[in-house]
Structure 1
């Protein structure tokens, strides 16, 4: 198995595409509180590289971990799973 296939991938929703060739992807996850066991919704925002500026706000996308591309960008767009309506 090649090393490229072992990289982390995440599925999330595009919340911003105002930057050139960069999108902000929100990834939601449900986790249990360590003490009280209540399910809490946690959201992480990642900046990802979008080479062709194909994403729009609301799109469901898959991103893959990559080498640092800038100060904040460590992910790149793999594919658009579902276009926003």
Structure 2
């Protein structure tokens, strides 16, 4: 579905690899954190899900803000800041 010639572009390859690593780490973090809430802190599934609301809210706000900021500052600065914060 994705033409392999795109991977000949160094920027595309770098962004794809970085995005994959960040997503792999983020979703692994969510999985382990849900196990921590339920097994270690003995929270119910509902309480564990509600404990994720601040994380979900911060992701929503960050996604909402990055559109206009990317137009103003360019993608490289925001990607660097996002990776440093992550």
TM-score, length basis structure 2 = 0.30
Name the structure with the higher helix share: 2
Greater relative contact order (Cα < 8 A, sep 6+): 1
TM-score if structure 1 supplies the norm length?
0.30
